[in-house]
Structure 1
């Protein structure tokens, strides 16, 4: 697998308040993208699981909208970012290592994940990995999710974790992307999650990410 990423297939889901900071970070990294305005709780139009709070539904709606757009535009694949993504300095070189993985039926590539992955420095099949801060999803992967959850969507990271059960999703450690650890809009334990990231990576590795 090898990817050509540019403004036509890279999308950053962002709230107005967070966009200036994220836009400056993307410019510094030379990443071209289309800003995708994040949905707010009052803009949720699809049916979502009843146990989700308003922020979780809005986040899920944003991702669902991007998946639909990928299908509608006929994109082969797209890089989807959230507006707190921080890239490791050599993320492009690490992503290029995927050229050695031959999987014509691939669904998704997760640049950030919820747990360390072994062995390190190797792309491996992702299983039970959560977080949707940065991932590349194929059109077939997007179509699969839209079909599976057509009657009731779940949280974005739950849906993408279920996509992994097909055995055609991949991830890498050290993660290519971590999330900044800003105030959450979905009510999750951001401070604890970020502390876990720091603990797993260590101080030296943390210095390699662009804040």
Structure 2
């Protein structure tokens, strides 16, 4: 019987982040999965000058969902560098993991073909967002793929095809949107897996500087209205309509579905 090739795995990380990525690397190695470390752009001390021509700071508020910080620009550029790698190598698809991703044997099953990815983009971790009530695809091992109507947050783990990677590169520059995503993924065949195959650290327990800087702000960097004033905003009524037209998915996870050890030859 032919052995299904493993899905290429790219781990997005930063140089010097050995401790941060260590748990993920240990887990990948324990499950016998091949992976490649992809070193992205570090924007914590400001966006490096050589990347400044690739971003459009004046347009970020109108095209993005909120004002972007240098780390967000760097993160977006790093994901775009991965998409370019996928296209240049001619990979049909690849599994992308951020270096703080929490994984289990379900990811190994996906990487080895026991769970088949669908569409152009399949999110393995997601938060919020809205999904179509019809069009659910049954995967194996008790997982479902739900068609995305309004893109959720998080790019902790996902499978992306070469077609989608090329599309992202075509519409991304100059960068004016966060890594999740450079354009409207709902226009592609985009799905989210439920329950989630990849988890991420508790953002409330250990918030990042990016999250702290935008809590309590709207997409234009202004304080969010509270109480009855919310009902006077366009965003409130857009959300009201979305809730009735589409559905949410809960944050259920199923990281482990069976033995995580690699198959014996």
After TM superposition, the score normalised by the length of structure 2 is 0.60
Q: Are residue 21 (structure 1) and residue 44 (structure 2) matched?
A: no
Q: Are residue 158 (structure 1) and residue 181 (structure 2) matched?
A: yes
* CA deviation after TM superposition for structure 1 residue 47, in Å: 1.1
Q: Are residue 144 (structure 1) and residue 162 (structure 2) matched?
A: no
Q: Are residue 98 (structure 1) and residue 116 (structure 2) matched?
A: yes
1:57 maps to 73
Unaligned runs of 5+ in 2: 61-66, 137-141, 216-249, 261-265
SS in 1 for 2:21: helix
Q: 1-side partners of 2:35 and 2:23: how far apart?
A: 14
Q: Are residue 5 (structure 1) and residue 18 (structure 2) matched?
A: no
2:234 maps to none
Q: Which one has a larger percent helix, Structure 1 or Structure 2?
A: 1
* CA deviation after TM superposition for structure 1 residue 10, in Å: 1.3
CA contact (8 A) 1:59 1:156 kept: yes
Unaligned runs of 5+ in 1: 193-198
2:148 maps to 126
CA contact (8 A) 1:53 1:186 kept: no
CA contact (8 A) 1:48 1:57 kept: no
Which of structures 1 and 2 has the bigger CA Rg? 2
RMSD over equivalenced CA pairs, Å: 3.2
Q: Deviations over 1:144-195 (max 9, x none)?
A: 11111223341111336x12223x1122211010112375555125xx9xxx
Q: How many residue pairs end up in the alignment?
A: 188
* CA deviation after TM superposition for structure 1 residue 140, in Å: 0.7
Instruction: Work out which of the residue numbers 39, 42, 64 in structure 1 matches 2:41.
Output: 39
- Aligned CA distance change for structure 1 residues 66 and 186 (closer, same or farther; 3 Å): farther
Range with greater deviation from structure 2 (54-63 or 9-18) = 9-18
Instruction: Work out which of the residue numbers 66, 91, 103 in structure 1 matches 2:82.
Output: 66
* CA deviation after TM superposition for structure 1 residue 76, in Å: 1.1
Q: 1-side partners of 2:115 and 2:256: how far apart?
A: 18
Range with greater deviation from structure 2 (31-40 or 15-24) = 15-24
Q: Which runs of 4+ in 1 moved over 6 A?
A: 116-120
* CA deviation after TM superposition for structure 1 residue 11, in Å: 0.5
Q: Are residue 114 (structure 1) and residue 127 (structure 2) matched?
A: yes
* CA deviation after TM superposition for structure 1 residue 92, in Å: 4.3
Range with greater deviation from structure 2 (89-98 or 141-150) = 89-98
CA contact (8 A) 1:107 1:163 kept: no
